[in-house]
Amino acid sequence: MDFDKLVPVMRRLAIEAGAVIMDIYNSPDFDVRSKSDDSPVTAADEAADALISAGLRAAFPDVTLITEEQADSHDLQSTNFLIVDPLDGTKEFIHRRGDFTVNIAYVEDGVPVRGVVYAPAKNRMFFTQADGQTVEEMGDFALDTVGEMKPISVSDPDNTALRVVASKSHRDQATDDYINLYQTADMKSAGSSLKFCLVATGEADIYPRLGRTMEWDTAAGHAVLSGAGGHVIEFESHDTLRYGKDTYANPFFIAYAAGVELKK
C-alpha cells in the first residue's frame, strides 16, 4: 500500500463524510431504523457509507473494502484490507450527544497500521501519517490542505492514580469490576472510538471494553492509538487484537498506554 497516497484520501473522505453527517445531525428530525441485529441505523450512516465507499473504491480499486453497512455482502479473502465505520456511535448521534466519529483504517497482515478518526461534532481529528506517527489536526479541516498538526503520544501513567475512560452507552458491572482492580484518580465516559483517541493523546491511561464490538468499530482507533505508542490487546490472552476474523466480531479487549501495569 502506498501510504503517501492513502493517508490524504482517508483524511479527505472522513471530512466529506463528516459534513454529510452534520447536515443530517443538525436537521429538525431524521428517521431511525433497526438493522437485522437490532442496532440502529440512520440516513447519516448510509450516506456516509456510500460516500466513503465510492471514494476508496475509486482510489484503491484492487484493495478489499469492508464497511459496517455492507458487511453482509463481503467474503473476506485477504489479511490486507480497508475497513470503515462511517458513523460510529449511532446512539450518541440519535441522542444528539456529539460523541460520534467517522472511522477509516487500513489493516495489514491482520493489524491496523493506518487510520483516521474524525469527530465532526467535537471538531477533533486524529490520524496516522504516512510514517505511522499519529497526529491531531487543528483548524478548519480544509479538504485538500492539512492544518496545524500536533504529534500526540500516550501518557507516562501513574499506576497509583490511573485515569480510565469507558463506554458511555455500554457500561456494565463486569467493566466496573475490572476497573476496580486498579487504583484510579479519574473516570471519564465517552462514546464511539473517541475512547481510543483519549488514550492516544494522554487524556486517559486505559480503556477496557468488556462488551460486544466489531472490527470496524475499533480498527481506526486501534491504528491511532498504536501510532501514539499505545496497545490494544485481547482481554483474556493479552495477545494483540487482530483483524480479519470470520465474523468481524472482536473479543473483549483492553486499550492502554504502554506504562500501565495490567491486571488479570
For residue 83, give the H/E element and its range: strand 81-88
Q: Which residue is it, cell 438493522?
A: 35
Statement: residue 217 has pLDDT above 60: yes
For the chain, give the mean pLDDT.
92
Q: pTM of the predicted model, to two decimals? A: 0.94
Backbone angles phi, psi at 194, to 5 degrees: -60, -25
pLDDT at 178: 95
Statement: residue 22 has pLDDT above 90: yes
Ranges of CATH 3.30.540.10 domains, the chain: 3-151
Of the candidate ranges 28-37, 51-60, 109-118, 238-247, the one whose mean pLDDT is the lowest? 28-37
Ranges of CATH 3.40.190.80 domains, the chain: 162-257
* Span 3-151 CATH architecture: 2-Layer Sandwich (3.30)
CATH for 162-257, options being 3.40.50.1220, 3.40.50.2300, 3.40.190.80, 3.30.750.210: 3.40.190.80
Rg of the chain in Å (alpha carbons): 17
Pairs from 53-56 (Cβ < 8 Å, separation ≥ 24): 53/84, 55/9, 55/12, 55/13, 55/16, 56/9, 56/13, 56/82, 56/84, 56/104
CA dist., res. 109 & res. 207, Å (int):
24
Q: Which residue is it, cell 491496523?
A: 112
